[in-house]
Structure 1
Amino acid sequence: MSKIRINWKRLLLLFAAVFVILQIVGSFFFYELAVKRGPKEFLQKNTDLEVSDKAMDLFLNGEWIDWVAAQKFEHLTLTSRDGLKLSGYYLPAAKPTEKLVILTHGYLGNAKQMGLFGQHYYNDLGYNIFMPDARGHGKSEGDYYGFGWPERLDLIDWTHYLVKKLGPDTEVAYHGLSMGAATVLMASGEEELPSQVKAIIADSPYESVYQLFKYQMNRMFHLPAFPMLDSTSVLTKMRAGYSFREASVLKEVQKTNVPILYIHGESDTFVPAKMAKNLYQQTSSDAELLIVPKANHGESIALDEDKYKMAIDHFLNRYIK
């Protein structure tokens, strides 16, 4: 009977080669899936993004839509530090004021969707409002989504632009939703953040891009984060200029001096509320936390609009004249 000899060295090399190939293929797959600009059909069937009928009616049929359509926004453009042409929409308050809110939208959204919040700032609080399209979204250039990290510098540059336009006594509030919330929080700890930024409202933020993807890989694909997420991060660093671990909200709020109001839905299964709670606990500045019962991702304003607006109003009254 003949004996079969196993060449372990060749076998190990084969396994290593297969492993490397799988990492490369998987990295490109997940980059195309989440980071590269384009439609994301996989999210259309994601049950974690299902919202109540009340929220859906507000998002699709709310009076804010007609309000946005009726406004005469000034279309502004800005060239980013890496040469992208960015787009945004400015609306001066009905009465002259030094108060300005910059509203930052979520993943796959666009600037004017933030009119849902802008209407309150404009009609009820008398703010100038500005709504930028994040890079890779709307009319802004860019072939990838930065999940807040490169956008934080865009936001800072937009703020400098608007302060120059409106005057150095301008008092600025940031209000972001989901990826937009991560954006404003990532900007909060930067040394070059303009001193005019007095308050930040973050609705449904995540702790970091790595933690968000780690959670989603397990929930949607039942896969561990390592090593696929790390190899995708390396590819993202090469193609989009940032890594998932460096894109940290937590590190920024640990060094910020800007007051922050966190808002999160208690029943959020896309970005769990524990992320906002941890950010709140780790924030180095004055911070408040509003958890809205039964609200899923981004629907807090729909399920308890009065409490949502009251929390914003009280918070801003403490820090903006």
Structure 2
Amino acid sequence: MKKKILLTAAAVVVLLVSAVTAGSFYLVNYALVDAPRHRDSSFNRAIANYPELRSWIDSLQAEGALRDTFVVMPTGERAHAIFARSSKAHGATAVLVHGYTDNATSMLMIARIYNHFLNYNILLPDLHAHGQSYGNDIQMGWKDRLDVMHWIGLAPGMFRTPADSMRLVVHGISMGAATTMCVSGEHTPDYVKCFVEDCGYTSVWDEFAHELSGRFSLPEFPLLYTASWVVRMKYGWSFGEASPLKQVAKCRKPMFFIHGDNDTYVPTAMVYPLYEAKPQPKQLWIVPGSKHALSYRDHKAEYVKKVTEFVSKWNGAEN
């Protein structure tokens, strides 16, 4: 009888372990591999969402200023970016980082702020496994920070500006904001002057826990633990280490935090510990009524004004 009970218990354990393992692989594939992505890199979708882009894009294209480039990352994979030089930039440059499952063209409305209103050079990378960049697995901003830092290192050459004359801001939205914050905690060149993060999450763990609860009504244990282990084994990083919160705590350069007060995808509550963890100088704007990644759409004039004032203060020629 005892033997039968033990065999039954062992079978139950095996079934549970198998179910959790299968669930973990499903979760990883669902979030990082099989997530549908906007592969269309034309400007049509951006213009459809933001018609004010048309004349600016047409002007850049007429001048031959809006270009594509491919580079080989230190990992050996090819990465793509859109860029445009400004004859009036005098070294002022913006690196603009898109969100989860999107691509570089989704940041064109932000690029217009920098290029049209501020006369900046602009560089819009496609993150790993997005747009025209190679890869299959989404890196949630963590390993992406290394790619963005590589682009930052290439910027003086791309824009034909000596490093000691360059003044660069990194501005990201959603996963791009998480990437921006992850970059901020690393040692960046002196010409990186400031950061703008718009609706980024505290950590991949926190964001996936939020989604696991809201989308699937499941607790963190055990799936998030085992899925993080799967990611560690397959891709070399874990949900816990991918922490913008820990990274901003190490950042000494200025950062502007933007978050809609009606954001339920990356909950608005996440911005407060991020802001508290970041040493001065810093600035916070809680955007009334805006859902996830829609602060610019909902408050265009104010968004342009606040971003312009922030970067002009911290990315000016005197800094």
Q: TM-score, normalization: structure 2?
A: 0.90
Query: Which residue number corresponds to residue 27 of structure 1?
Result: 24
Structure 1 gap ranges (5+)? 42-55
Query: Which of the residues 285, 296, 301 maps onto 2:291?
Result: 296
Query: Secondary structure of 1:297's partner?
Result: coil
Partner of 2:33: 36
**8 Å Cα contact 2:56/2:116 also seen in 1:** no
Check if 1:275 corresponds to 2:250.
no
* Residue number in structure 2 paired with 1:158: 151
1:84 aligns with 2:77: yes
**Residue from 122, 126, 129 that aligns with 2:119:** 126
Unaligned runs of 5+ in 2: 39-44
Deviations along 1:127-163, one digit per CA (max 9) or x if unpaired, are 0000000010000001110010011000111000112
1:190 aligns with 2:186: yes
Give the Cα separation in 1 of the matches to 2:22 and 2:74.
31
Distance 2:58 2:201 in 1: 31
Q: Does 2:169 align with 1:180?
A: no
CA distance in 1, matches of 2:270, 2:207: 9
Aligned pair count? 303
Structure 2 counterpart of 1:44 = none
Q: CA deviation at 1:37?
A: 4.9
* Percent of aligned pairs sharing the same letter: 30
Q: State the SS of the aligned residue for 2:220.
A: coil
Q: Distance in 2 between matches of 1:305 and 1:122?
A: 16
Q: Which SS does the other structure have where 1:97 is aligned?
A: coil
RMSD: 2.0
2:167/2:193 contact within 8 Å kept? yes
Q: Aligned partners of 2:89 and 2:215: how far apart in 1?
A: 49
Cα deviation, residue 68, structure 1: 3.3
* 1:60 corresponds to: 49
Q: Do the aligned partners of 1:37 and 1:142 also contact (CA within 8 Å) in 2?
A: no
User: In the TM superposition, what whole-angstrom CA distance separates every residue of 1:75-123 from its partner, at most 9, and x where no partner exists?
Assistant: 2222222211111111011424210000000011111221111111111
**Rounded Cα–Cα distance in structure 2 between residues aligned with 1:124 and 1:315:** 14
171-180 or 311-320, which moves further after superposition?
311-320
Tell me if the contact between 2:46 and 2:53 (Cα under 8 Å) persists in the aligned partners.
no
Once residues 67 and 75 of structure 1 are traced to their aligned partners in structure 2, the CA distance between those partners, rounded to angstroms, is: 17
The residue type equivalent to 1:241 in the other structure is G
SS in 1 for 2:241: coil
Does the alignment pair 1:244 with 2:239? yes
Bigger mean CA offset, 307-316 vs 67-76: 67-76
Post-superposition Cα deviations, 1:54-85, rounded to whole Å, max 9, x if no partner, equal xx998625221553365332322222222111
Per-residue deviation at 1:301?
A: 0.8
- Residue 17 of structure 1 pairs with residue 14 of structure 2: yes
Alpha-carbon distance between aligned partners in 1 of 2:145 and 2:48, rounded to the nearest angstrom: 26
**Partner amino acid for 1:127?**
Y
Partner of 2:82, secondary structure, is strand
SS of equivalent residue, structure 1 residue 106: coil
Alignment correspondent of 1:146:
139
Q: Is the 8 A contact 1:65 1:116 kept in 2?
A: no
* TM-fit CA distance, 1:243: 0.8
Where 2:108 maps in the other structure, the secondary structure is helix
Distance 1:261 1:96, change over 3 A: closer
**Equivalent residue number for residue 46 of structure 1:** none
Q: Distance in 2 between matches of 1:265 and 1:96?
A: 31
1:75 — aligned with what?
Answer: 68
Deviation string for 1:281-311 (max 9, x for gaps)?
Answer: 1102311110111100011111111221111
Instruction: From the superposition, tell whether residues 38 and 13 of structure 1 become closer, same or farther in structure 2 (CA, over 3 Å).
Output: same
CA–CA separation in structure 1 for the residues paired with 2:37 and 2:110: 25
